Amino acid sequence: MTISLPDYIQSITPYKPGKPIEELARELGIQHAIKLASNENPLGPSPRAMDAITAAVSNLHRYPDGAGHDLVARLSEYWKLAPEYFVLGNGSDDLIGMLTRALLQPGDEVIIPAPSFLMYEINVRSAGAIPVFVPLRALAIDLNDLLKNVTTRTRMVFICNPNNPTGTIISGKSFDTFLQALPQDIVVVVDEAYMEFVRDSDCVRGIAYVQKPPPVVTLRTFSKAYGLAGLRIGYGVMKPELAEAMQRIRQPFNTSLLAQAGAAAAIGDEEFLKRTIRMVHEGLDYLFTELSRAGIRYFPTQSNFFLIDAGKDADTVFDAMLRLGVIVRSMTSYGYPTYIRVNTGLPEENKRLVQALKQVL
């Protein structure tokens, strides 16, 4: 039997995540590998989240609260915004999908910096809309270049801040200028998955614009700084009329009972968050110092990950690092054939990374 797929679905290249440690053990028999490829929190989950999840396990026979009342209430208190501004998602990916399904029609155009998070393109194409790619300048998103690509068919703009995979940021001043020049009916989606790690005070925060025109949607996640990647839980902050449209198409139980309980507890665990941020910043400082001493070219970042120019085929470097038990991310699929991306780990993992890079490069 032959199944006929729409052209816009056939045009999608499946997303390829970072290689799991378990897969490396199965394929190559390598034990005690370290994974520095998916920008995860090496400290593990928030302890408060762990306690809340453990307490919620006895209710696994019940469906979760579809509206996520308790978690939304915590978010509302944390951000000083009414509950109507929040939409929960099964990770940021789920929210991106809801936005594209709710707001886009076939033939609409969506501006996407390139390279950036690959799920923007996948979800835009899934809606039958047209991704318009705007190349980065010196690894950074140029908002003027985005404006030059706006047409009467533009319905949405994605901005990853800090940008994945480059770790660069947008300043508040440049964002203000951008919004003033943008048609007021275009939705600007600011993905802030890594915002907790930013050190530069000039970095714009999308939530500050949620009550202003044009419509700005901010996406946040508990996967990175809070260490809950395995639970898949995130949220969007937006004008209530946009949130109401999202709620119309949201799956009734898109976030699990355990995810809601863990996230509600994690958002109040300031001690764990501070510890995570301190570990990341100290890890970055150590890695930058060691790589500089070794003559290995890297690029500064405002996130928990950064790019390294290996000076040779990135896939070859990726494979060689695997055999040393260090999982990194090749940037070939992002258009950087000699770059790899790594995230900070625990101090001993950072040392192993430097040792492996020296051996491979």
Quick check: 265 pLDDT over 80? yes
Instruction: Identify the pLDDT of residue 23.
Output: 72
pLDDT tops 80 at residue 4:
no
pLDDT exceeds cutoff 90 at 14: no
Q: Where are the domains of the chain?
A: 14-44+270-360, 49-266
Model pLDDT, residue 104: 97
Assigned CATH class of 49-266:
alpha beta
245-263 pLDDT, tens digit each: 999 999 999 999 999 999 9
pLDDT beyond 80 at 24 = no
pLDDT tens digits, one per residue of 182-201: 999 999 999 999 999 999 99
Residue 28 is predicted with a pLDDT of 67
- The average confidence (pLDDT) of the chain is 95
Same fold, 14-44+270-360 and 49-266: no
Give the span between the Cα atoms of 299 and 305, in whole angstroms: 10
* pLDDT in the model for residue 6: 78
* pTM flag (> 0.85): yes
Architecture of the domain delimited by 14-44+270-360: Alpha-Beta Complex (3.90)
pLDDT digits (tens, 9 = 90+) for 290-300: 999 999 999 99
| Gap between the Cα atoms of 191 and 217, Å rounded | 8
